[in-house]
Amino acid sequence: MAEIAIPKLNNNDSSYLLLEWLFDDGDEVPADAAVAVLETSKATEDLIAPSAGVLERLVPAGTECACGELIGRLLPAASESAPAEPAVARAATAESTAIPGTATDAGKVSVLVTAPARALMDRLGLDEAALAELDTKVVKRADIERLAGTRGASAVRDAATPSHREPAPDPEPGLHELSPNQRAVWTVVSESQRTVPAAFTVVHVDMGPVEASAARLGAMAGAPEYVIAAMARLRTDFPLFFAAPAHPGTVRPADSAHIAVTIDVGKGLFTPVVRDAERLTVADIADVMMEFRIKAIRDGFRGSDLSGGTALLALNNDAEVVVATPLVFPGHTCAASLADTRDELVADESGGVRVRRVAALGLAYDHRVINGRDSVRFLHALRQRLEQPEGLTATPSDAG
């Protein structure tokens, strides 16, 4: 017999939502198959069966489960005993509910509404009929938030039927409840401010060569992709910038540059990871970044997309952002920041003036590990690669 328990998927959460079982009680589950789907504060993640067996589900879908909690078992396929009924009784508010769906050629379908989604529906006075606007069979809290944002909270209430359903009052009037995504940001920011004594250095970079190279390349690449490529290729020369603090006075250098990058399309801040970035060209990174933007729009991130970073690039490319100080993530030693590219007047060799395209490139760093002089050396090396960017468009083995 093998037990199915809730793993620890990230450092931000102590519990996850058991969003969906992918097999029924009594089904034979192959080894290494996805047996359930978990929802973290930022993504969904498949839970993989540790071995083959007959599934015994102990916890219903829609339940908030703590890390390490037992939620099911895989019994030997030859066992003559039928799987038991779920052994853990949960309150009705912790269970998901199924509501009738719209008719299809195959007959009626059902929509699974998770407990957090149901609670928010009740608060907004949202009727099940409004869920027809959602193209999903599993309605999560994020889906209800998106629906409310699209229609407006007042429109959601006006559409509610039956009329006797009243929105549930807020726990305390006047408080604004943060989304799960933003609560995760709260946790990370608090931990960073508490544990990382950070310093900050900034330089200006002439981005004209990058813009010219991107135009010649013809790919969907811009300044962020070039900075990721340049930053990653500095790992071997600056190993402490891609290390993780370990025991006091020691760090663990990374064996590859996995660059986390900030993505925000108006649905919360995400930091997906460009893996093995030092082995990728700018065009390769542009493809990865496009996938990230699509996932951010579609709420499609998996936990594996958001974990394993060894350094961070914070993008602040809104117009007129001159400089921004990023946070050093717990477990990292540095975080770079890229501000908006802007025009700057500079003197030319003939004594006149010319316009150049510049951006502020910053570096926040854990001062326990990295000293100011080394941060300047890192930024100068990064600037040199960006101002001579053609090597970043070739594969690393060809770039020399």
> Mean per-residue pLDDT for 13-34?
88
Residues 6+ apart with CB under 8 A from 101: 108, 109, 110, 111, 137
Distance separating alpha carbons of residues 49 and 33, to the nearest angstrom: 6
Pick from 224, 196, 186: which is nearest to 316 by CA? 224
In the predicted model, is pLDDT for residue 233 greater than 80?
A: yes
The band of 6, judged by pLDDT with boundaries at 50, 70 and 90, is very high
pLDDT of residue 137: 62
> Mean per-residue pLDDT for 143-163?
49
The band of 298, judged by pLDDT with boundaries at 50, 70 and 90, is confident
- Could you read off the pLDDT of 119-128 as tens digits, one per residue? 777 777 777 7
Beta carbons of 281 and 392 less than 8 angstroms apart: yes
Lowest mean pLDDT among 9-18, 84-93, 109-118, 361-370: 84-93
The band of 213, judged by pLDDT with boundaries at 50, 70 and 90, is very high
Beta carbons of 124 and 156 less than 8 angstroms apart: yes
CB atoms within 10 A of CB 133: 12
More confident residue, 328 or 164: 328
The band of 86, judged by pLDDT with boundaries at 50, 70 and 90, is very low
The band of 130, judged by pLDDT with boundaries at 50, 70 and 90, is confident
pLDDT of residue 107: 41
In the predicted model, is pLDDT for residue 164 greater than 80?
A: no
What letters, b where the CB count within 10 A reaches 16 and e where it falls short, cover 330-368? bbbbbbbbbbbbeeeeeeeeeeeeeeebbbbbbbbbbbe
The band of 154, judged by pLDDT with boundaries at 50, 70 and 90, is very low
The band of 45, judged by pLDDT with boundaries at 50, 70 and 90, is confident
Beta carbons of 219 and 395 less than 8 angstroms apart: no
Tell me the pLDDT of the chain averaged across its residues. Answer: 82
Distance separating alpha carbons of residues 45 and 229, to the nearest angstrom: 28
Distance separating alpha carbons of residues 335 and 16, to the nearest angstrom: 28
> Mean per-residue pLDDT for 67-89?
67
Lowest mean pLDDT among 4-18, 166-180, 282-296: 166-180
In the predicted model, is pLDDT for residue 31 greater than 60?
A: yes
Domains along the sequence of the chain with CATH: 2-93 (2.40.50.100), 96-177 (no CATH), 181-399 (3.30.559.10)
In the predicted model, is pLDDT for residue 138 greater than 80?
A: no
pLDDT exceeding 90 applies to what percent of the chain? Answer: 48
64 Ramachandran zone, left/alpha/beta (phi>0; psi -120 to 50): beta
